[in-house]
Amino acid sequence: MNHPNLVESMMRPEFYPHKPDTVELLQTHISFIFIAGDLVYKIKKAVDFGFLDFTTLEKRKYYCEQEVVLNRRFAPDVYIGVIEITEDERKNLRPGGEGGIVEYAVKMKKIPEEKMLYRLMEADKIAEADVKRVGRHLARVYGNISSDEKARTFGMFDVISTNVIENFDQTRKYTGGPVSSEAFDAIESWSRSFMDTNSALFDMRIGQGHVKDCHGDLHLQHICIEDDVISVFDCIEFNERFRFGDVASDVAFLSMDFDFNGRSELGNIFVHVYIDESGDATLRDVLRFYKVYRAMVRAKVTSFMLDDGGLDDISRREAFQRAKRYYDLAYEYVTHED
């Protein structure tokens, strides 16, 4: 478990060398996130969900280091490094002090919330030029990532099939709820058919060098446009199977998110610019397949919330409707021609 005094200590402004005026705590199911003025300190919770394991200090150190290394590819100016949190003989916790190491934290620059891509879109402050810049930025980043022997194994048919079929196996129980049996069967049938008839296409993508160590969670909430700087953050560090794959899967994720939020025209611009900048001419051949896959991933994650007994009625209804929208989007992909 994490140190019992960790959260209390890190909520105090005097804990930090730069002495922020206030400290705000945000939590996810896997992280404590302390916003301390213009800096952010991210702690991994000592949890094991099967697909990730942060239960030991050594593992949390390793994944903190991985988070910094992997995310610097996309946002080199945001991720400062990994710091040690120590406990002195008086049982006081401090960053980088003397004493035994009790925890590790990822230290980051604070990203302005109002400059996040989804916030800009909500405020109707996003322009086509911004989306084009994102496309060019990502094309350059992925262009600098090699497709090595390890990465290529994640583009093999068996691996892709496992990922896709796992989604259907884990969401089948939600038929009759946020997704009808008819829609579910259509999405699954289309996906299986695409895989069965396009094994050569998947092999071609491997041979063309498009299967890489990617981001894995590329959506609107993980992109910031601040003046001349584009920062893409929070790539998946804790599970290689969720991160390695065809670059098209990442591109499809962001494109799908534009569709989900009613801005398909921006998603189309993003894809066009990415393809033009990267020279990835065969990406369009797999784009719809991966958009279906990504919509089903989001449908699955949202559907899982319906199993949370502690969820109040309002949150449950919101999760139900959100999951339904993802299933509906996947169904639209497989029943409508481009």
Q: For the segment 144-199, what is each residue's pLDDT rounded down to a tens digit?
A: 999 999 999 999 999 999 999 999 999 999 999 999 999 999 999 999 999 999 99
In SS3 terms, the chain reads as CCCCCHHHHHCCHHHCCCCCCCEEEEECCCEEEEEECCEEEEEECCCECCCCECCCHHHHHHHHHHHHHHHCCCCCCCEEEEEEEEECCCCCEEECCCCEEEEEEEEEECCCHHHEHHHHHHCCCCCHHHHHHHHHHHHHHHHCCCCCHHHHHCCCHHHHHHHHHHHHHHHHHHECCCECHHHHHHHHHHHHHHHHHCHHHHHHHHHCCCEEECCCCCCHHHEEEECCEEEECCCCCCCHHHHEEEHHHHHHHHHHHHHHCCCHHHHHHHHHHHHHHHCCCCHHHHHHHHHHHHHHHHHHHHHHHHHCCCCCHHHHHHHHHHHHHHHHHHHHHHHCCC
Q: For the segment 203-227, what is each residue's pLDDT rounded down to a tens digit?
A: 999 999 999 999 999 999 999 998 8
Q: For the segment 102-143, what is each residue's pLDDT rounded down to a tens digit?
A: 999 999 999 999 999 999 999 999 999 999 999 999 999 999
Specify the higher pLDDT residue, 309 or 92.
92
Q: Where are the domains of the chain?
A: 6-110, 115-335
Given this model, what pLDDT does residue 338 score? 60
Q: For the segment 53-79, what is each residue's pLDDT rounded down to a tens digit?
A: 999 999 999 999 999 999 999 999 999
Average pLDDT over residues 293-308: 92
Given this model, what pLDDT does residue 17 score? 93
* pTM confidence score: 0.91
Given this model, what pLDDT does residue 297 score? 94
CATH architecture of 115-335: Alpha-Beta Complex (3.90)
Average pLDDT of the residues of the chain: 95
